[in-house]
Structure 1
Amino acid sequence: MTTSSELGKLIVVTGASTGMGAATARELARRGFHVLAGVRREHDAGTIRSARIEPVILDITRPEHVEALTTRVTDDPRALHALINNAGIQVNAPVEVLPLDQWRQAFEVNLFGHIAVTQALLPALLHSKGRVINISSIGGRIAMATYGAYAGAKFALEAVSDSLRREIAPLGVQVIVIEPGGIRTQMASRGITTANRLAARMTPEQDTRYSTLIQANNKLMASGTASGLTPDAAAQIITKAATARRPHTRYTAGRDATLATRLARLLPDRALDNILAANLRRHQPQKPTP
């Protein structure tokens, strides 16, 4: 529950153009916060702008954008209650296939950009005794086939979050991780488009090795998205992390995320490998009957 002392405080939400980020910005504004909503295009700014939502053009991989956001926060007399690091991209391809520049881009957006924004806003959060909320993924606990780059960045974000929490908890700043499973957003569809584009560039040998895997994974992503949480439901969990007096260090979002984290914790690697492989086989393209 939002307290009267929190009303009017600032919250920064990155990646707020659509999906979970936009839904979270709207829910926090409804609770009385003034939300600085990071968007990448002026069109998105016009879509999300409201009385308590102030769009900020923000590509977290561009230092000048991060600097402008920092100046905006520093110049505001209101306290910064929370930073919600939500921006992200999904890239799916086998480790052998994904070009190194795509690996670097995945880490720039899903890890280093969050670190840059966090470093820039930590002085304001230390002053206000605020909190950092990092939107990770079930991919930060389990790295499925073709998720090497995405899960690699999310695993790293989880580790950075743990380290940061232990560094700044004694200084009064809380660090919280959100681990969503399937969410009904455009992220998975964009990921499928990227996967198909990368697959089209594979060598014939790579196509033989991985084409069935990529097709099955695309169907699994689409299925998981269709049955996942709505952005509004995910926003409720993020808002709880932002407003709870004593928040957990981690929240899962969705039954699939809760189940997967339990399996990862309880099962040996080979057993988990077999379960994930069996799930993928259910989505493999059917061979034509002779």
Structure 2
Amino acid sequence: MPYKTQDMVVVTGTSSGIGRATAEQLAAEGFHVLAGVRRQEDADKIKQNNIEPMILDITASDTLRALAERVEQDPLGRPLRAVVNNAGIAVNAPLEMVPLDEFRRQIEVSVIGQVAVIQALTPALLKSGGRVVNIGSVGGKISMPGFGIYSAAKYAMEAINDSLRREMSSFGLKVIMITPGGVSTSLSEKGVTTADRLSKLMTPDQHRRHDRLFDAVKAQAESWATSGIPPKKVAEVVSRAIHASNPRTRYTAGRDSALLTRLVRILPDKLLDRMLRSQMKLQ
């Protein structure tokens, strides 16, 4: 379907970072953006021309039903051009000690919630010949020490993205993965806060084993927060994926993503292990 001004786009997780930048980018291009946020104060901040905030918890079926109904019953009959699956959280801690409830929360939000959004909006996307754009991460290609829980969710979304693309290609639904590297967003800052909270749960033995790793995880997240690419750069890649008449199945965003996604395919595991531990100053 050719691009038309005022086609609708759904973007989840728009209170800040990649989601907000994407909503603003697409709104400036003329799309009517349904911007998912969890709190009214965030809805008030993002509301602007062509952006209609919606209270959306991707783990809550009632808000997903409301979203699907809003799309289906659009008063102007606008088609749904795309859904941008961006909402997520970051739980960063050594696998030995991460509470299993935290692991479940990571998967519930960053995997099951993403699938729930796709399921809720598939009928509208099939009707319009639209597309699903999943915001992945280089963490879905390479799992760094201390980031295993987050990477587990991102690896899972890689599998879901590939399977969905192959299942739905005959029906005209395009499925695209965007893989950013380090991005300067509040997600990194929230990851540091979570790591600080979880570090207090360790036993003395775990502290001896993992204090250096916790410090490295926080330093890495802080580095992304200050020196990562701006969210707008990712939003521009999302825009290209939505506008392209024949989009690629995958796009990277940031030089580190382009480099690491190649290295992981060619380097032996043990060499990659040493490189990552050295980069995080763990050896």
Q: Which residue of 2 aligns with 1:238?
A: 238
Taking the aligned partners of 2:247 and 2:222, their CA distance within structure 1 comes to 32
Q: How many angstroms does 1:247 deviate by?
A: 1.1
- 2:33/2:50 contact within 8 Å kept: yes
- 1:128-152 deviation line (CA, Å, top 9, x unaligned): 1100000010000001111111100
Question: Equivalent residue for 2:71?
Answer: 73
Kindly state the Cα deviation for residue 226 of structure 1 after the two structures are TM-superposed. Answer: 1.6
For 2:113 and 2:87, the matched residues in 1 are separated by: 9
CA distance in 2, matches of 1:6, 1:97: 50
Q: Secondary structure at the match of 1:281?
A: coil
Q: Which of 21, 35, 38 is the equivalent residue of 1:37?
A: 35
Asked if structure 1 preserves the Cα contact closer than 8 Å seen for 2:188 and 2:224, the reply is no
What code does the residue aligned with 2:121 have?
Answer: L
Superposition pairs of residues 79-158 of structure 1, within 5 angstroms: 79-158=79-158
**Whole-angstrom distance in 2 between the partners of 1:137 and 1:281:** 22
Q: Please, what is the CA RMSD of the aligned residues?
A: 1.3
CA distance in 1, matches of 2:241, 2:134: 10
Quick one: distance in 1 between partners of 2:217 and 2:104?
A: 22
The answer to whether 1:254 aligns with 2:254 is yes
TM-superposed CA distance for 1:224, in Å, is 2.6
Unpaired runs of 5+ residues, structure 1, are: 285-290
The one-letter code sitting in structure 2 at the alignment partner of 1:198 is: L
How far apart are 1:231 and its partner, in Å?
A: 1.1
- Aligned equivalents of 1:271, 1:191: Cα separation in 2: 27
1:1-290 alignment runs, 5 A limit: 5-76=3-74, 77-281=77-281
Unaligned ranges ≥5, structure 2: none
User: What CA distance in whole angstroms lies between the structure 2 residues aligned with 1:88 and 1:243?
Assistant: 24
The one-letter code matched in structure 2 to 1:101 is D
Please report how far the alpha carbon of residue 221 of structure 1 lies from its aligned counterpart in structure 2 after TM superposition: 1.8
Task: Give aligned pairs, total.
Answer: 281
Query: For residues 53-80 of structure 1, what are the alpha-carbon distances to aligned partners after superposition, in whole Å with 9 as ceiling and x for unaligned?
Result: 0000001011111111011011011100
Q: Distance in 2 between matches of 1:232 and 1:135?
A: 13
Q: How far, CA to CA, are the matches of 2:220 and 2:32 in structure 1? A: 38
Report the Cα offset of residue 30 of structure 1.
0.7
| One-letter amino acid of the structure 1 residue matched with residue 187 of structure 2 | M
| Structure 1 counterpart SS, 2:280 | helix
> Shift of residue 217 of structure 1?
1.8
Identity %: 50
Give structure 1 regions of 4+ aligned residues with deviation exceeding 2 angstroms.
Answer: none
1:139-180: CA deviations, max 9, x gaps?
Answer: 000011111111001000000000000011111010000111
**TM-score (norm: length of structure 1):** 0.95
| One-letter identity of the residue aligned with 1:174 | K
Distance (Å, rounded) in 2 between the aligned partners of 1:220 and 1:122: 37
Structure 1 window deviating more from structure 2 (155-164 vs 214-223): it is: 214-223
**Partner letter of residue 119 of structure 2?**
Q
Tell me how far apart the structure 2 counterparts of residues 177 and 17 of structure 1 sit (CA, whole Å).
21
Q: Deviations over 1:166-199 (max 9, x none)?
A: 0111110100001111111111011011001101
Q: Matches of 2:260 and 2:110 in 1, distance apart? A: 21
SS of residue in 2 equivalent to 1:7? coil
| Shift, 1:103, TM fit | 0.4
Which whole-Å CA distance do the structure 1 matches of 2:50 and 2:107 have between them?
A: 32
